[in-house]
């Protein structure tokens, strides 16, 4: 540790002297670098899957106050380095590595023809659909053919197969091996295109994510109480007062691929290069505390990391969907139950799978914003013992939206055009303006702390099958009410209170659209109003060295929840062991269906159904399935319904 | 303040009684200099002797019950030193003199009238006064405990098993204290101008080690209105977020220690949270000593050569210090909140300094639960910067959970230094800035 401290002192001194000129270590406030860190193994076992995580992490933090420098008080340099090796891609490569997936067949629901051709359950192999390579040679339009030799039936899963049966709905083949083992579906540049080593060592990338934080800061006094405060560098800027889910805390994107929503936000916020300036009035005649913060995120835009197809934590299973769709676009793909057999002249009441040629359906590319122009302001303070903030932030939506306004090939005619209601997309991240505020206050009469946040956003975009481009924007109102109370439960612990913390999150889409169509609902799959409840009960025993806790989260509309009991044991100042379960309950993804656009009639009149009043008019008549849009109704809890896990984490701190 | 002094003197003359003025002077002198005419004594007690299991019975009358039991059990031995005067800062004494006779209790518990600065009720408590305990509590609250401001910088806590002596955890803190009002020594005197919520005092705590609680910060704002609840915030380093605390957490173990936030400094709550009872005046042994005369610990390094008080005895739960026979007021406080985890505290209030060096804590059944010791070091025999400050320096603590066989010990580097306690650090925003 002393060697490290010497190295840091040299580095810090060098950096300060070389970069900024006049610094001297002699009058530094801290004589030594403040250093700390840990090494950790987190091994999770998933029911039916085996090891889902064997993450080995080393983290090192350092900080030093150089005292008065450059006209600032307490000029400080701080940093956090983190390196991770997730061995799951080696230990369980049948599920998440080079041997994951396999050959797959696709459902032809109720098709007597398919039953006759393929036997068994009537499923047709990848690339051998009746409307496709498996059809009569020469009779199938080129738009329904793809080269199986370039896009073979191996290393695949059926979209959603870990969560539900197709149940007559559409599914797509998903390549699930790392992109260096199977490049299919990895064509979205710098987005969900990770090789094995990228997945094993997620911090070692072009963004230098092993530098989790590195910033300088200092303050300039302007009075006894007031000062300017500046911080510049790679950092996390935390707004808001909520746990687990975010309402105001939107400045840094989040890496959900690490462990869905369940890791501390501290560990999964993706640090960005940010400059912040605060003017702190301190106490004034009116406010007990008041400050104004301006934040400029001058880093390149990074979206939330959602995990890619074939990785253990792919929130909403979006990564699988995107990879499958990118493969459709680039190499073609098989889609189950896509066409009524009768539509191609078969005397067959069932649905049949279809093979799509490249460039017909799918995801073409991702458009990552290149502006370095995210920023906002926050006025925060305390007034009559009530903490408050008023916030504004301009940013890019951190969750992707699929925009259907791209040029693609008519599978029947070969004509290239921007076809309405066709499931051919680019991924975009629209600009969003967020207006928000927060409060916290304590009611002594009931010994309870209340936390409130609310935001109103403009510019967010959502899937919408009513629209020709299959998306639309909506203003969104979000709020959260949090309640914290420390309560003695004498029969469990007569000397130490339990923390009981509950939160209710609400979301209302002001421009929500859903209409009844002949075969089902059409419009936005996201709920117009939804609520997620969380409850934490945490206790402490043996001088806080043993801390059991239970976290429960429940999605009201998805009717899905998580029950996560765990015990945290501080063995001593160095060793810590956490053992827990993460159990899902309620409905899974298979219980949520929505318009899947099979009946969107994108290539009229060829794709019109009897339910289309005008066969020349595109638009959905509402035939629904679980995939692909049911995930938006299942939410992060329901879409992970099959991810019950036993989790062990051992950490050594130094 | 000069004006008030003038008025007081004028009133004295107007009453035409020099005897009254003398009496008033005596009240203040007796309160602040109880040993000016001699130090207390006890049969058989001599400076330099040791009280231990063999002779504890002989000195039972000058030991609090928990200390007696510990010595009788042979858990540690008490070294007896000379009783010395811990003179408080003259400005505080002058402020007391200036306000003498002008301070009174309000109709309700937690109300006080006419208080400006100094010791509100320097008069000897009377057993006939049903509110004598409350007055002692006010004297403690507005005591010169850490002066106008001070820091414990740093502050080590060790969690120990009484039986095995195993040190289970070591926490390193910085503690900061600041009085917004009733100040007598450092500018601004007597109070800060911008104080919109009329705060009396603030405490700011920052955890430096170990890693799992590093960057945890605690901020307590105490209103001048004793009937207003404290505002308390906690910054959790692993969440990077300030959380407001409910009062339930004030009476709960702080970071797993045997101490609750309400225990800080002996009692860290509102007058109006307790019923106060004066139980008498006596002379007992208290942990008052000269830091620089002790055999100090060598295991915690400070670059300036400062050494902390060492611990020994059973489980390492007892400070290796010297004790003095001193005048105390026995003060009981029992919580008004029926859900409070304790039934009462018995404070042995040092009559000269109004610090709380010994407090016994009883559980809800009325059984002795914890023995709370805060050793007081003379400022003139401590760090150079503390000399002449007139602050009895909290220098070592031991909170012994007798029922659990466990203790938390504290080793202080107390510094009476306004530079370490600038008013801007006692803000919620500072917690966010200090955090990462």
> Which residue in the block uniquely carries the two structure tokens 């078969």?
A346
Residue B23's pLDDT is 62
Residue B20 has a pLDDT of: 52
What integer is the mean pLDDT of B332-340?
92
Q: Higher pLDDT residue, B209 or A580?
A: A580
Cα A555 to Cα A241, A457, A561, A630, B97: the distances in Å are 20, 22, 6, 14, 66
Do A310 and A320 form a contact (C-beta atoms < 8 A)?
A: yes
Put simply, the answer to whether A241 touches B210 (Cβ < 8 Å) is no
pLDDT at B210: 87
pLDDT band at B17 (very low <50, low <70, confident <90, very high): very low
The domain limits of chain A are 27-94+195-295, 98-192+302-360
CA atoms of A621 and A623, how far apart (whole Å): 6
How far is B196 from chain A, CA to nearest CA, in Å? Answer: 5
Cα–Cα distance measured from residue B389 to residue A195, given in angstroms and rounded to the nearest whole number: 66
Whether the predicted pLDDT of B246 surpasses 90: no
CA distance B122 to A505: 55
Helices and strands: H and E segment counts in chain B: 7, 20
Angle (CA) B17-B22-B23 rounded to 5° is: 95
The pair of structure tokens assigned to A251 is: 């400045």
Number of CB atoms found within 10 A of residue A190's CB: 12
Compute the nearest-CA separation of B435 from chain A (Å). 11
Query: Which residue, chain included where needed, has tokens 């380095």?
Result: A81
Output the six-digit token pair for B207.
């955890």
Pick B246's closest partner by Cβ from A291, A485, A573.
A485
Measure Cα distances from A255 to A249, A262, A480, B279 in Å. Answer: 14, 11, 22, 61
Torsional class of A344: left (φ above 0), alpha (ψ -120 to 50), beta (otherwise)? alpha
Cα B215 from Cα B396, distance rounded (Å): 23
Question: Whole-angstrom Cα distance, residue A547 to residue A536?
Answer: 12
Reading the block at residue B381, the tokens are: 């025999």
Using alpha carbons only, give the angle A160, A163, A165 rounded to the nearest 5 degrees: 75
* Residue A107 structure tokens: 């459902």
Cα distance between residue A127 and residue A116, in whole Å: 18
Model confidence at B247, in pLDDT bands (50, 70, 90)? low
The answer, for A238 touching chain B at a CB cutoff of 8 Å, is yes
CA-based end-to-end distance of chain A: 9
What residues of chain A score a pLDDT lower than 70? 1-30
Whether residue B154 is preceded by a cis peptide bond, meaning omega within 30 degrees of 0, is yes
CB A362 within 8 A of CB A325: yes
pTM of the shown model = 0.86
Which residues contact residue A119 at a Cβ distance below 8 angstroms, ignoring those fewer than 6 apart?
A: none
Q: Which of A447, A498, A503, A650 to mutate to test the interface with B (most CBs of B within 10 A)?
A: A447
Domains for chain B: give ranges and CATH numbers. Answer: 2-37+94-141 (no CATH), 149-434 (2.50.20.10)
Query: Quick check: B423 and A282 CB within 8 A?
Result: yes
Interface predicted TM-score of the whole assembly (ipTM), two decimals: 0.80
Mean pLDDT taken over chain B: 91
Q: Measured between beta carbons, which residues in chain A are less than 8 angstroms from residue B273?
A: none
Task: Give chain A positions within 8 Å (CB) of B110.
Answer: none
- The predicted pLDDT at position B248 comes to 63
> Pick from B112, B73, B106, B15: which is nearest to B400 by CA?
B73
Instruction: Look at A527 and B250; give whichever has higher pLDDT.
Output: A527
- Identify the pLDDT of residue B22: 62
Q: In angstroms, rounded to a whole number, what is the distance separating the alpha carbons of residues B151 and B225?
A: 24
Q: Residue B81 is encoded by which pair of tokens?
A: 């030193």
Enumerate the β-bridge partners of residue A375: A296, A394
The confidence band for B146, taking pLDDT boundaries of 50, 70 and 90, is: very high
CA–CA gap between residue A392 and residue A633 (Å, rounded): 29
Distance in angstroms (rounded) separating the CA atoms of residues B263 and B347: 11
A101: which DSSP letter? Answer: -
Residue B12: is its pLDDT beyond 50? no
In chain B, % of residues over pLDDT 70: 94
pLDDT at B21: 56
Tell if the CB–CB gap between A444 and B229 is shorter than 8 Å. Answer: yes
């Amino acid at each position: 540790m002393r060697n490290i401290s010497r190295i840091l002192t040299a580095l810090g001194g060098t950096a300060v002297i070389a970069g900024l000129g006049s610094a001297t270590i002699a009058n530094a406030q801290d004589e030594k670098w403040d250093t700390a860190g840990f090494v950790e193994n987190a091994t999770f076992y998933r029911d039916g899957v085996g090891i889902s995580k064997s993450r080995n992490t080393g983290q090192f933090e350092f900080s030093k106050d150089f005292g008065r420098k450059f006209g600032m008080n307490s000029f400080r340099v701080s940093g956090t380095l983190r390196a991770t090796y997730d061995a799951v891609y080696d230990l369980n490569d049948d599920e998440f590595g080079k041997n994951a997936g396999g050959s797959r067949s696709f459902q032809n629901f109720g098709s007597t023809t398919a039953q006759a051709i393929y036997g068994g359950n009537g499923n047709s192999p990848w690339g051998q659909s009746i409307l496709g390579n498996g059809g009569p040679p020469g009779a199938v339009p080129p738009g329904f053919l793809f080269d199986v030799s370039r896009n073979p039936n191996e290393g695949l899963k059926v979209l959603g197969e870990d969560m539900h049966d197709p149940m007559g709905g559409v599914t797509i083949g998903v390549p699930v091996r790392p992109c260096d083992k199977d490049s299919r579906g990895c064509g979205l540049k710098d987005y969900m295109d990770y090789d094995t080593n990228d997945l094993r060592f997620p911090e070692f990338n072009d963004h230098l994510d092993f530098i989790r934080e590195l910033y300088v800061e200092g303050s300039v006094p302007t009075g006894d109480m007031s000062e300017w405060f500046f911080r510049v560098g790679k950092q996390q800027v935390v707004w808001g007062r909520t746990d687990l889910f975010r309402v105001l805390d939107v400045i840094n994107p989040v890496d959900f691929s690490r462990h869905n929503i369940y890791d501390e936000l501290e560990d999964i916020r993706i640090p960005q290069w940010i400059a912040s300036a605060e003017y702190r009035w301190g106490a004034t005649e009116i406010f007990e505390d008041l400050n104004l913060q301006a934040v400029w995120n001058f880093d390149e835009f990074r979206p939330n990391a959602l995990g890619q197809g074939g990785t253990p934590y792919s929130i909403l299973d979006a990564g699988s969907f995107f990879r499958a769709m990118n493969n459709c676009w680039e190499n073609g793909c098989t889609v189950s139950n896509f066409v009524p057999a009768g539509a191609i002249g078969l005397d067959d009441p069932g649905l049949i799978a279809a093979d799509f040629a490249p460039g017909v359906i799918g995801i073409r590319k991702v458009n990552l914003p290149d502006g370095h122009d995210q920023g906002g302001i926050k006025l925060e303070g305390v007034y009559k013992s009530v903490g408050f903030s008023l916030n504004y932030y301009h940013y890019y939506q951190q969750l992707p939206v699929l925009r259907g306004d791209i040029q693609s090939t008519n599978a029947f005619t070969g004509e290239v055009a921007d076809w309405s209601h066709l499931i051919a997309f680019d991924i975009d991240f629209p600009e969003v303006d967020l207006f928000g505020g927060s409060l916290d206050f304590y009611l002594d009469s009931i010994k309870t702390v209340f936390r409130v946040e609310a935001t109103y956003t403009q510019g967010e975009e959502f899937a919408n099958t009513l629209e020709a481009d299959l998306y639309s924007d909506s203003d969104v109102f979000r709020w959260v009410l949090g309640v914290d109370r420390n309560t003695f439960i004498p029969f469990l612990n007569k000397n130490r209170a339990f923390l009981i913390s509950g939160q209710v999150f609400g979301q209302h889409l002001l421009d929500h659209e859903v209409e009844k169509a002949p075969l089902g609902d059409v419009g936005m799959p996201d709920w117009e109003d939804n609520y997620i409840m969380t409850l934490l009960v945490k206790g402490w025993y043996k001088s806080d060295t043993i801390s059991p806790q239970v976290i429960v989260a429940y999605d009201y509309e998805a009717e899905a929840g998580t029950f996560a009991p765990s015990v945290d044991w501080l063995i001593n100042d160095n060793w810590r062991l956490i053992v827990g379960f993460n159990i899902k309950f309620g409905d899974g993804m298979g219980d949520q269906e929505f318009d899947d656009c099979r009946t969107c009639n994108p290539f009229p009149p060829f794709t019109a159904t009897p339910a289309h009043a005008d066969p020349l008019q595109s638009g959905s008549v509402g035939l629904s399935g679980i995939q692909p849009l049911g995930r938006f109704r299942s939410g992060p809890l329901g879409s992970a319904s099959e991810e019950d896990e036993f989790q062990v984490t051992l950490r050594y701190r130094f | 303040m000069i004006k008030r002094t003038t008025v007081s003197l004028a009133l004295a003359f107007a009453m035409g009684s020099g005897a009254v003025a003398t009496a008033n002077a005596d009240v203040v002198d007796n309160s602040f200099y109880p040993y000016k005419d001699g130090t207390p004594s006890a049969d058989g007690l001599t400076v330099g002797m040791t009280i231990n299991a063999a002779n504890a019975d002989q000195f039972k009358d000058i030991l609090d019950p928990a200390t007696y039991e510990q010595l009788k059990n042979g858990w540690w031995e008490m070294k007896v030193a000379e009783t010395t005067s811990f003179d408080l800062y003259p400005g505080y004494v002058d402020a007391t003199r200036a306000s003498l006779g002008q301070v009174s209790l309000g109709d309700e518990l937690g109300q006080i009238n006419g208080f400006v600065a100094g010791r509100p009720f320097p008069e000897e408590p009377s057993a006939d006064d049903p509110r004598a305990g409350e007055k002692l509590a006010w004297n403690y609250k507005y005591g010169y405990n850490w002066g106008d401001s001070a820091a414990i910088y740093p502050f080590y806590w060790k969690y120990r098993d009484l039986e095995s002596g195993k040190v289970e955890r070591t926490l390193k803190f910085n503690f900061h204290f600041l009085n917004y009002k009733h100040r007598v020594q450092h500018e601004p005197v007597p109070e800060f101008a911008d104080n919109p919520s009329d705060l009396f005092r603030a405490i700011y705590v920052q955890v430096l080690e170990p890693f799992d609680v590093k960057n945890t910060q605690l901020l307590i704002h105490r209103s001048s209105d004793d009937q207003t609840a404290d505002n308390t915030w906690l910054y959790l380093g692993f969440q990077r977020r300030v959380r407001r605390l409910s009062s339930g957490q004030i009476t709960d173990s702080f970071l797993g220690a045997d101490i609750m936030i309400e225990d800080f400094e002996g009692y860290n709550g509102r007058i109006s949270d307790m019923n106060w009872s004066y139980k008498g005046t006596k002379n007992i042994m208290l942990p008052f000593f000269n830091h620089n005369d002790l055999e100090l610990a060598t295991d915690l390094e400070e670059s300036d050569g400062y050494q902390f008080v060492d611990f020994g005895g059973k489980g390492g739960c007892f400070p290796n210090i010297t004790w003095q026979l001193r005048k105390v007021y026995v003060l009981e406080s029992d919580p008004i909140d029926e859900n409070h985890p304790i039934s009462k505290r018995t404070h042995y209030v040092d009559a000269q300094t109004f610090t709380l060096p010994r407090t016994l804590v009883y559980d809800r059944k009325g059984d002795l639960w914890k023995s709370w010791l805060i050793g007081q070091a003379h400022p003139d025999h401590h760090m150079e910067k503390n000399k002449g400050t007139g602050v009895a320096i909290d220098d070592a603590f031991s909170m012994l959970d007798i029922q659990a066989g466990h203790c938390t010990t504290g080793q202080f580097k107390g510094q009476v230094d306004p530079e370490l306690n600038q008013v801007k650090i006692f803000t919620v925003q500072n917690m966010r800035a200090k955090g990462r």
